[in-house]
Structure 1
Amino acid sequence: MRKNRLMVWISICIMGMCMLMFRLAQLQLIDTESFSKHGINLIEASVKQRSQEMIVDNGRGNFLDRSGKPLSYETSSVLVLFPFLKKMDWQAEKVAQTIGVSPESLKYAVEKSKEPFAYGTPDPVILTRSQMDAINEMEIPGVFAVERKYPLERIPAAQLLGIIGENDGELKTRYGDKEFLPRTLIGLSGLEKSFDEFLVAEGKSKLVYHVDGEGAPLFGINVKYIEPANPFYPINLQTSIDKNLQLIMEDMVDRHKISNGGIVLLDIETNSILSMVSRPVITKGKPFGDKGIENMMVKQHIPGSVFKTVVAAAAIDHGLDDPARLFDCSKKINGDPDPKYDHGMLNFSDSFAVSCNRTFGEVARELQEKDPHILEKYAEMLSLTGGVGWRGDIFHLEDFNQLQDEEKGRVFLSDEARKDRNFSALSGIGQHEVRTSPLAVANMMATIARGGQKEMVRAVLSVQYQNGSKMTEFSEDRLKGQKISSITAMKLQKLLREVVINEDGTGRWFRDLPYAVAGKSGTAETGIYKDKKQLHNKWFAGYFPYENPKYALVAINLGVPEDEGGVNLLFADIVKEVYNYNHGSVAEGPESN
C-alpha cells in the first residue's frame, strides 16, 4: 500500500514537471509570437519590459500643403533626458546654462521621470541649432538634442486628410503576411486611407536603452539611436491645399455657425482642391464612430435648384431655351398658385435667374419624354455623377483613386421614376432621388468656367521621398465620357452670371464683390422635420472672377429650417477673403449670418 502511494506521488510529480516543461516550451518556443487568445507577442513584451525608449518619429508618412508647409506634423528640436540620470552625477548645470533654464528644474524633471521625455513636456522647450550642437558635443550619456516629430495641435482639412489608428485585422487584410512593427498605424479614412500603402511606416526612429528590474542600465549607459534602414522614408504627400487659405476658410465657416456642411474651393486652372472644410469637426480623442470623421464635401446630398444647371444645359442643346417662350412663374410645379413667389410670366433666362420651379419642372418633363436618360446623360457630362476625384494607374496599383471616400451621385434609381412625369418634374428641380456631392458641384462650375472641358479633381499633387525628390506626380487629366460643347458652356456662363446681375436674381447679393461672380443657388427639401419645421439643404455654387475664372466655390449648410442658415453671406465673405489674400490685405471680419 505504501509502495503504491509512493508511485502515485511520483507519477503526479512527473506529470506536473511535464506540464511545467510544456508550459515553458510554449512560452519560449511554441507560442512566442501569439500567446493566449489575446495573441500576445511574448518576445516583444519581454524586450519592452527590459528596455525604455523615446519615439522620435513614428515612421508614418507626412502631408504637406502645395508650398511644402506641414499639414499633419511639425518637427521640433527638443532636449531628451533619460531616467537613469537620477542615479548619476551629470552636468545638469552646463546643460541648463546652454538652454537658459535653472539646473534645479532639469534635476527635478529627471527625478520624477519614469521613462525618457522631452524636457518641458507637454510644451517642450524648443532648441536652436546652436543649442542642439552644443548639447550633443557634451556627449553626456542620457542627454540628447534631437529633431522630434509632433502631431499638429490643429490639423487643417482634417476630414480630407483623414484619421489613423491601430487595427491588426485590417492591416493583415491589406498587406497579407508582410511584416510590420507592433502597433503599426494605418489610415482609416480620407487621404490617410487612400494613400496608406505609401504612408504606412517602414520603421520608427527612436532612442533606446536597456534596464534591469529597478530601471538601472543593464548594459552600461549607452543609448542606441535606431532608425529605418531606408533613408528615403518616411515619404511626404504634397497636397494641393493652401494651408494659410485653408485656415482662413475654416475660421470663416465657424464664424458663420455652419455646424453641418462646409465649403469646397477649387483652383480652376489646375482643377485641384485649394480648400475643403467639412463640419461637424472631428471630436478630439474620440474620432471613431463620430459623425465628424465623415467628409461631408464628398458625400451625397439633395442639391435642390443647383441641379437646374443640368436641366439648362440639356434645354439649350434641345432648343427648349427659346427666349420668346414664357413660363408662368406665379405657379408651383404642380400648377397650383404659388403663395410665396409671384414672378409672373418669365422667359427661360429670367426663370433661371429667379430659380423658377415651374419652368424647370416643365422643361424636365419635356426632356425626359424625348429620352428617359437625358437628365442622367447631362449630369454625367457636367461631372455631377460618376465621381470626380483623380483616378489612374501608378506603379503596380491599377485604377488608383485619390478620394476613396467620394460618393458618386445619381439622378434616378429606377426606370419607372425616369418615365414618371411627376418624378421627372421633381428631378428637374433637384429633388426626389437626385443626389450629388459638393465636390462634384464645384467641379461642374469649374467645367462650365473652362468652356466645357471636364477634368479630374486632384487632392494630392505628388508623392515625395524624404529628401524632397519626387517618387511620382499626379498630372492634370481629363474625365472620361462626353462633355458639353463650348457653345453650351458659353450660354450656361451667361445664365449663371444673370443670377447675380438680374435685379430679382437669387445671387443679387454678390453684385458689389471685389470679384465678379457667376453661380446658382439651391434650397432643397430634405423630408426631415425638427420641431414641426421641414429641414433644408442650403447651397450656393459658382465661380469667379467671371471674365477670367480662377476659382470654383461651393458653400453648403445641411439640415436647417427654411428661414434660417442661408449661405449667401458665407459665400460673399469667402470671395472677399480670397481677394484680400491674393492682394496681401487684411480682411475685415465677416458679417454675421
Structure 2
Amino acid sequence: MPIFGENSDVDARQKGMFSMNLFQQKRLIKTFYLIAFLFVPLLVHLAVIQLFHNEEYSQKALEQRTLQVALEEIPRGKILDRTGQQSLTMGEKEPRITLFPQIIQEKQTAANRLGRILGRNPDELLAFFHAKPQFLPYPLTESQIRQIKDLKIPGVMVEEISLRYGVEPLASHVVGHLGHISGLASLEKLNSLTEKNYKISDLIGTSGLEYFYEKELKAEQPTMLARAYVDVYRRLIQGLGIQTEPQQKTGRQDVITTLDRDIQATVEKIMDEQLPRGAVVVMDARTGDLLAMASRPNYNPANIAQSLSDGNDAFLDHCTALYQPGSIFKVVVAAAALEEGLVKPGDSFVCLGDKDHYISCWHKPGHGPITFEEAFAQSCNPVFAELAVKLGAQKIIKYAQAFGLASQNIIGYPLSKDQRQNLELIAKPYNLVNSSVGQGPVLTTPVQLTAMMNVIVNNGVYIEPRLVKGVLNEQGKMSRHYPMGGSHKVISSETAKEIKRLLWLVTEKGVGKEAMVSGYGSAGKTGSAEIGNGKKTVNAWFSGFAPYDRPKYVVTVLVEGGISGGASAAPIFREIEKSILMLPH
C-alpha cells in the first residue's frame, strides 16, 4: 500500500510539473507574439527606409562625414529659348576658387598668398577662411588660375562653377527674378505645396516664369559637388581626398519657352540704343508664338538690390501692361465696317480738321475730300468717328473681343487679369467717338495688339499667343506640354486681304512711311495716344509685319513719351524687322 501511495504522489507531481511547463510554454509563446507584434512597426519602418528612403539617408550619412561645396551658383532648372538648348539667363561655367576652410591649417598665410595673386586685401579674404566651405565670388584669369594651382594649398582648388546669370541676361521681365523666403510661414507653405524640401536660406522665384514654375525649377541637389572626405579631426583621408562628383538626380526641371534667343538679343540691343521707355513684342506670324518680349527700363536679375535703387518702374513689364492704343485700334473699326458692308475702299468722306463735328483730326487744316482707303493711310480721325457712329458701340465691342482685345491669356504664362480692361465701357455715354480712335476707355497690351495684327496676316483667323512650350524633366521628356494656341475666325479672308492692302498703303504713302523695310516690304499701322497727364505726353505705336508678301514676323513697338507713331515708333519697327529678317533662321 505505501508503495502504491508513493507512485500516486509521483504521478501527481509529474502531472503538476507538466501543467506548469505547459503554462510556461504558453506564456512564452504569448510573450514571443507580443514582442513580435511590437517589433512589426519597427520592421515596417526599417523596410520603408530601406526601400523608399535609402538614397536620402545614404546622402545624409555621406554629408555628415564629408565637407562639400556646390559647384553651382543657384541649384535650379534652366529657362530656355525655343530650341531647348540656350539659356535666357545667359549663365555659363566659369572658374572660381573653391575653399574648404576646415582643412586649411595656416589660414592667414593662405589668405596672404591668395591676396597677392588676386590683388585683394588679405583681410577681405580671411573672412572666407572662417566660414563654411564655398566658392569665392572673384573671376579668374588664366594666369591667376595657374598661380593658384601652383600654390598647392590643401583645401584650396580652382573649379568650374555653373553661374545662373551672364553679363547681360535676356527677357528679364518675362523670366523674372529670385528672392529670399520671407519668413517661417512662407517656408511652411512652400514645403506643404511640394515634396521638395525648402530651407529658409533658399532663393525662390518671386516674379515671371521663375515664380510661375517654382515647383518645377527648384533643385534639391546641385549638378556637381566638390566633396572632401575627412576624418573626425577634419583631416583629408588618404586615397579619397577631394573629389568632384556629378549628381544624377537633382529634382529640377527646365522650362522651354517660345522665345528665340537671337531675336530677343537683337531686339534688346536696338532698344538699349533707341528706346529708353516702352516695349517691343515679336510674334511668329504662322504660329502665334511669342519670339521676343522686351521692356524698358530694364533691370538686372543678378543684382536686384541695385535695380531696386533705380526705382520700381524698372520691374514693370510694359509688354503685358495696359495702354491706350491710339489709332492702331482703327484696324478693328475698319475691319468691322468692311465686314458689315458699311464702307468700300473708294467711298468718299470729308475731313474738316479741327473743325470737324465729331472729333478733330491730327491734321488741323483738315484733309478735305478723302476716300476711305486714303483716310486709313493718313489715319484721319473724323472718318473713323463717323464709321463708329454708323456701326454702333455693340458691334465695335463684338469685333474688338473677337480680335482678342478682351483676352489677356498667354499660353503657359498665367498672369493675373488686369480688371481695368473693360471693352463694355465703349457703350457708355460719350465714349464711342473717342474709342473709335483708340482713346477713352480702350485699353490694350502690346501683346494683345500683336495678336490682333496677326489676325490680318492669317486671313482673318485669331491665334492665341503662346510663351511656353512645356516643361522638360531630367530624363529629357516633357512632363508638361502646351500645344499651340487655339484659333477662331474673326473676319472673312476677303476683308483680311483688304485690310492687309490698307496697311501696306500706310507704309507706302501714308503716315507710316518710316516703317517701310526696303528689300522685304512691310505693312502696319501707327498710333499716337495722348496721355491725360497735363503735359501733352504721347505714347507712340507702330504694329505691323514683314515681309509683305509672305509675312514672317509681326512686330509691335511702343515708345513711351514719343512724338508720334510715324516719327518715333515706325523707324524702330523698321530696324527691328530688317535686323531679325537677316538673322540665319
TM-score, normalization: structure 1? Answer: 0.73
Q: Superposition pairs for residues 195-234 of structure 1, below 5 Å? A: 195-204=213-222, 207=226, 218-221=233-236, 231=249, 233-234=251-252
- Structure 2 match to 1:547: 549
**Match of 2:9?**
none
Say if 1:252 and 1:512 are closer, same or farther in 2 by CA, change over 3 A: closer
Q: Please name the residue that 1:87 is paired with.
A: 105
Does structure 2 retain, via aligned residues, the 8 Å contact 1:514–1:579? Answer: no
Q: After superposition, what is the alpha-carbon deviation per residue over 1:255-289, rounded to whole angstroms, capped at 9, x for unaligned?
A: 11x22202111111232122211011126433557
Q: How far has the Cα of 1:51 moved from its partner?
A: 10
Contact 2:516–2:523 (Cα < 8 Å) also in 1: no
Q: Which structure 2 residues correspond to residues 183-332 of structure 1 after superposition, within 5 A?
A: 183-204=201-222, 207=226, 218-221=233-236, 231=249, 233-256=251-274, 258-282=275-299, 284-286=303-305, 287=307, 290-332=312-354
The yes-or-no answer on 1:465 pairing with 2:480 is no
Q: Relative to 1, partners in 2 of residues 1:538 and 1:247: Cα closer, same or farther, differing over 3 Å? A: same
Partner of 1:66: 82
Summarize deviations over 1:192-221 as a string: whole Å, max 9, x none: 12222211233456557799xxxx985433
Give deviations 1:229-252, integer Å, cap 9, x for gaps.
762632222222222322221121
2:104–2:154 contact (8 Å) kept in structure 1:
no
Tell me if the contact between 1:557 and 1:565 (Cα under 8 Å) persists in the aligned partners: no
Give the counterpart letter for 1:122 in structure 2: Y
Tell me the secondary structure at the aligned position of residue 539 of structure 1. Answer: strand
> 2:423: which partner in 1?
412
Q: 1:51 to 1:442 in 2, by over 3 A?
A: same
Aligned residues: 496
Shift of the alpha carbon at 1:366?
Answer: 1.5
CA contact (8 A) 1:524 1:537 kept: yes
After the TM superposition, which of the residue ranges 566-575 and 182-191 deviates more from structure 2? 182-191
Q: Quick check: 1:534–1:562 contact (8 Å CA) kept in 2? A: no
1:361 shift after superposition:
0.9
Structure-2 separation of matches of 1:405 and 1:567: 28
Task: Write out aligned runs for 1:127-526 (5 A).
Answer: 143=157, 145-168=159-182, 169-170=185-186, 172-173=188-189, 176=192, 178=194, 179-204=197-222, 207=226, 218-221=233-236, 231=249, 233-256=251-274, 258-282=275-299, 284-286=303-305, 287=307, 290-332=312-354, 334-335=357-358, 340-368=364-392, 372-390=393-411, 401-404=412-415, 407=418, 410=421, 412-414=423-425, 418-420=427-429, 422-466=430-474, 468-479=476-487, 483-502=490-509, 505-511=510-516, 513-526=518-531
Given that 2:79 and 2:254 are in contact with CA atoms closer than 8 Å, whether structure 1 keeps it comes out as: yes
- Partner amino acid, structure 2, of 1:196: E
Distance 1:171 1:562, change over 3 A: farther
Q: SS of the residue aligned with 1:434?
A: coil
Distance across 2 between alignment mates of 1:113 and 1:294: 37
- The two structures have a TM-score, normalised by structure 2, of 0.74
- Closer/same/farther in 2, CA of residues 229 and 315 from structure 1, 3 Å limit: same
8 Å Cα contact 1:61/1:234 also seen in 2: yes
TM-aligned CA distance change 1:166 to 1:478, over 3 Å: same
Deviates more, 1:381-390 or 1:306-315: 381-390
Question: Residues 452 and 242 (structure 1 numbering): CA distance in 2 closer, same or farther, change over 3 Å?
Answer: same
Cα distance in structure 2, aligned partners of 1:520 and 1:164: 38
User: Residues 230, 264 of structure 1: CA spacing in aligned structure 2 closer, same or farther, 3 A cutoff?
Assistant: same
- Shift in Å at residue 523 of structure 1? 0.3
Check conservation: 1:454, 1:483, Cα contact below 8 A. Answer: yes
Deviation for aligned residue 1:318: 1.0
What amino acid maps onto 1:151 in structure 2?
Answer: Y
1:56 is aligned to 71
Q: Is this contact kept in 2: 1:298–1:406, CA < 8 A?
A: no
- 8 Å CA contact retained: 1:171, 1:186: no
Alpha-carbon distance in 1 for matches of 2:201, 2:386: 59
Aligned mates of 2:272, 2:434 — CA distance in 1? 33
Distance 1:264 1:406 in 2: 19
- Shift in CA distance, 55/405, structure 1 to aligned 2, threshold 3 Å: farther
Distance 1:449 1:278, change over 3 A: same
Shift of 1:106: 12
**C-alpha distance in structure 2 between counterparts of 1:105 and 1:536, whole Å:** 51
Distance in 2 between the 1:562 and 1:143 partners? Answer: 58
Distance in 2, Cα, partners of 1:376 & 1:171 = 46
Q: Any idea what SS the aligned residue of 1:151 has?
A: coil
1:351 Cα offset (Å): 0.9
Distance 1:437 1:141 in 2: 55
Between Structure 1 and Structure 2, whose CA radius of gyration is higher? 2
8 Å CA contact 1:203–1:228 kept in 2: the answer is no
Contact 2:75 / 2:219 at 8 angstroms: preserved in 1?
yes
**Pair 245,493 (structure 1): closer, same or farther in 2 beyond 3 Å:** same
Q: Distance in 2 between matches of 1:193 and 1:482?
A: 34
Which amino acid is the alignment partner of residue 380 of structure 1? Q
| C-alpha distance in structure 2 between counterparts of 1:444 and 1:337, whole Å | 26
Do the aligned partners of 1:191 and 1:403 also contact (CA within 8 Å) in 2? Answer: no
SS at match of 2:551: coil
CA contact (8 A) 1:142 1:221 kept: no
Confirm or deny: 8 A CA contact 1:383 1:444 kept in the other structure.
yes
- 8 Å CA contact 1:464, 1:471 repeated in 2: yes
Mapped to 1, the partners of 2:565 and 2:330 lie a distance apart of: 22
Task: Give the Å deviation of 1:552.
Answer: 0.3
Equivalent pair of 1:384/1:409 in contact (CA under 8 Å): no
Distance 1:404 1:337 in 2: 37
Secondary structure of the residue aligned to 2:530 is strand
Gaps of 5+ in 1: 1-47, 391-400, 584-593
Give, in whole Å, the separation in 2 of the partners of 1:564 and 1:551. 19
- Asked if structure 2 preserves the Cα contact closer than 8 Å seen for 1:451 and 1:485, the reply is yes
Q: Deviations over 1:153-204 (max 9, x none)?
A: 2111111111111234455446536541232222222111222221123345
Distance 1:360 1:103 in 2: 71
**Alpha-carbon separation, structure 1, partners of 2:444 and 2:88:** 28
Tell me how far apart the structure 2 counterparts of residues 272 and 239 of structure 1 sit (CA, whole Å).
Answer: 9
Q: Distance in 2 between matches of 1:171 and 1:59?
A: 18
Instruction: Check whether the contact 2:516–2:574 (CA below 8 A) recurs between aligned residues.
Output: no
